[in-house]
C-alpha cells in the first residue's frame, strides 16, 4: 500500500468529519478577505487529485473529470453550490482516492510524463511523487478549511 494514499485518505476522512456539522449556508460562506469557501475547497480536492494523477501525468490526458472547470486550480466560487452537489462531492472525495489506489495497484500509472505542479513548482517524475504531492496538497487545503471553519 502506498503511504501517500494512506495519508491522503486520512486527511480526506478528517476533512469530511470536520465539515459534517456545517450547513449548506456555512459551506458556501466566503469569509471576509478570502476568495473561496469550504464547499469550493471540497470540490477542488476532488478534481485536483484526478487532474494530477491522470491528466497532467499524461496517463489519461483526455480523461473527462466532472466539475473540473468549476473547481480546478485558479477558479473560485462563481455561484451558490447546491446541497446536492456538495453531497456528491463528499462522496467523490473518498471515492476518487479509492479509484486512484485501485489504478495504482493495477499498474495504470506505470508510465508518467514528468511535469511541474502549479502549487509547489516541483517537477514530478513518477506516480509516487505525484501521490506525495496530492497528499501535501490535500493537507494544505485541509489547513485552510480548518481556519475558515472558525470564520463561518
Q: Contact at 8 Å (CB) between 121 and 73?
A: no
88 pLDDT above the threshold of 90? yes
Range of the domain at 97: 3-151
The pLDDT score that the predictor gives to residue 9 is 96
Q: What is the pLDDT of residue 119?
A: 82
For 105-144, how does the pLDDT look when each residue is reduced to its tens digit (9 = 90+)? 999 999 999 999 988 889 999 999 999 999 999 999 999 9
pLDDT category, 29, cuts 50, 70, 90? very high
The CATH code of the domain that includes 39 is 1.20.120.450
| Structural domain count of the chain | 1
How big, in percent rounded to 5, are the helix, strand and coil portions of the chain? Answer: 60, 5, 35
pTM: 0.94
What is the average per-residue pLDDT within 93-116?
96
What is the pLDDT averaged over residues 65-76? 95
pLDDT mean across residues, the chain? 95
User: Can you tell me the mean pLDDT for 5-16?
Assistant: 96
pLDDT value at 84 more than 80? yes
Name the percent of the chain lying above pLDDT 70.
Answer: 100
Contacts 24+ apart (CB under 8 A), 118-121: 118/73, 118/74, 119/73
Amino acid at each position: 500500500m502506498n503511504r501517500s494514499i494512506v495519508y491522503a485518505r486520512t486527511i480526506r476522512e478528517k476533512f469530511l468529519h470536520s465539515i459534517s456539522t456545517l450547513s449548506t449556508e456555512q459551506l458556501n460562506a466566503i469569509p471576509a478577505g478570502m476568495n473561496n469557501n469550504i464547499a469550493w475547497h471540497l470540490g477542488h480536492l476532488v478534481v485536483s487529485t484526478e487532474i494530477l494523477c491522470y491528466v497532467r501525468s499524461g496517463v489519461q490526458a483526455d480523461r473527462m473529470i466532472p466539475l473540473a472547470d468549476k473547481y480546478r486550480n485558479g477558479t473560485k466560487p462563481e455561484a451558490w453550490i447546491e446541497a446536492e452537489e456538495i453531497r456528491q462531492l463528499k462522496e467523490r472525495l473518498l471515492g476518487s482516492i479509492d479509484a486512484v489506489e485501485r489504478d495504482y495497484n493495477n499498474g495504470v500509472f506505470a508510465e508518467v510524463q514528468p511535469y511541474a505542479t502549479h502549487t509547489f513548482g516541483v517537477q514530478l517524475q513518477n506516480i509516487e511523487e505525484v501521490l506525495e504531492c496530492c497528499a501535501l496538497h490535500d493537507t494544505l487545503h485541509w489547513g485552510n478549511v480548518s481556519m475558515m471553519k472558525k470564520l463561518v
